[in-house]
């Protein structure tokens, strides 16, 4: 008799994660969002600041994202009109002469708006941000095309999607037409100029690629900030610059929402841009079949050649609660146990 299979509930990691696109939020916009296994409300004030709060009003539990309205720098509850500022505190109750009760507040999330995304800082112990996100030159410089947008929702823990970026071997077996070539990981300890803190690393793969324009010695650069932001760039196809920026967010323990922006240098848009975008879009569909049918292995069996995967597994530990443990949830009829 075979042993019963287990599925694991991996904790939601800490870091910066996207909850909206900037262009979704003109002044006065209110959005309902669900990330980190909780309900949120996202809104842009009349001064142009983006605020993110826990969604349920502490008065009688109405959802601020369902009928809530921006008034100046506050959001008004649709049920009884209580107004909440960006710090989450109730600042006005329209039918009360007294100041709002001190307990009338909701959690306010640290926000960072970068590269066309609205990010919030998630910390399982409600700690403040310990690092900042970059503003990438490709999204603020002339000569690059207007970004194209793609999104997908995947029934898999965010770590499994992020790990894909540190698995060059799978490019050959899953995607077939891509030769990962030689791959190397650079982090702060190895002297990389952009790896001055542990939340960031870059991996570079070099190979010869056959394209409609000919044969080129290319470099695939993958820059990673935490588990929520990855930039993938291709260099070596003439003077072309090609960039995919992926902002990926945990919806809950077992579901993930990923938003992608694609941009290329304008001088190569017609020659290489559409092929670049099409190849990434096709590739993710090949990954999707794997993601939809895999389980998470907290302690995988690796071989001596899995150097990038081993690096990633060690690096990623920093984003989980220091006292947290992965709980293995057994199939029906089995008792729960902890996996160290």
List, by residue range, all CATH 3.90.380.10 domains of the chain. Answer: 143-317
Q: What's the pTM value of the predicted model, to 2 decimals?
A: 0.86
What is the CATH number that goes with domain 143-317?
3.90.380.10
CATH class entry, domain 16-122: mainly beta
In order along its 340 residues, the chain shows pLDDT tens digits of: 444 445 557 899 999 999 999 999 999 999 999 999 999 999 999 999 999 999 999 999 999 999 999 999 999 999 999 999 999 999 999 999 999 999 999 999 999 999 999 999 999 999 999 999 999 988 877 888 888 898 999 999 999 999 988 887 887 788 775 555 566 666 644 434 444 458 998 888 777 666 666 676 777 788 999 999 999 887 766 666 788 999 999 999 999 999 999 888 887 777 666 777 777 777 778 888 899 898 888 889 999 989 889 989 999 999 998 754 443 333 333 322 222 2
Residue 55 near residue 40, CB atoms below 8 Å: yes
List, by residue range, all CATH 2.102.10.10 domains of the chain. Answer: 16-122
């Amino acid at each position: 008799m075979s042993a019963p299979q287990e599925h694991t509930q991996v904790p939601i990691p800490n870091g910066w994660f996207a909850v909206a696109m900037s262009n979704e939020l003109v002044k006065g916009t209110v959005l309902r969002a669900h990330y980190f296994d909780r309900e949120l409300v996202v809104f842009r004030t009349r001064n142009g600041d983006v605020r993110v709060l826990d969604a349920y009003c502490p008065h009688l539990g109405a959802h601020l994202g369902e009928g809530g309205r921006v008034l100046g720098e506050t959001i008004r509850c649709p049920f009884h009109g209580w107004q909440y500022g960006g710090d989450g505190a109730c600042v006005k109750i329209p039918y009360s002469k007294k100041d709002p009760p001190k307990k009338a507040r909701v959690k306010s999330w640290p926000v960072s708006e970068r590269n066309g995304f609205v990010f919030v800082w998630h910390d399982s112990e409600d700690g403040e941000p310990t690092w900042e996100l970059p503003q990438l030159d490709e999204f603020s410089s002339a000569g690059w095309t207007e970004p194209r947008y793609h999104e997908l929702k995947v029934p898999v823990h965010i770590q499994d999607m992020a790990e894909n970026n540190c698995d060059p071997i799978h490019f050959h077996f899953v995607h077939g037409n891509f030769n990962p070539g030689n791959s190397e990981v650079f982090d702060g300890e190895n002297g990389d100029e952009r790896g001055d803190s542990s939340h960031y690393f870059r991996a570079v793969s070099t190979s010869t690629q056959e394209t409609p324009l000919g044969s080129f010695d290319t470099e695939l650069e993958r820059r990673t900030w935490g588990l929520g932001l990855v930039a993938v760039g291709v260099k070596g196809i003439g003077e072309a610059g090609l960039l995919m920026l992926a902002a990926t967010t945990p919806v809950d323990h077992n579901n993930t929402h990923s938003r992608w922006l694609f941009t290329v240098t304008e001088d190569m848009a017609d020659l290489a841009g559409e092929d670049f975008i099409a190849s990434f879009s096709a590739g993710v569909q090949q990954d999707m079949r794997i993601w939809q049918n895999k389980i998470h292995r907290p302690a995988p069996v690796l071989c001596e050649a899995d150097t990038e995967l081993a690096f990633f597994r060690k690096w990623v530990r920093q984003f989980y609660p220091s006292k947290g443990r992965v709980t293995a949830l057994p199939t029906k009829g089995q008792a729960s146990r902890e996996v160290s």
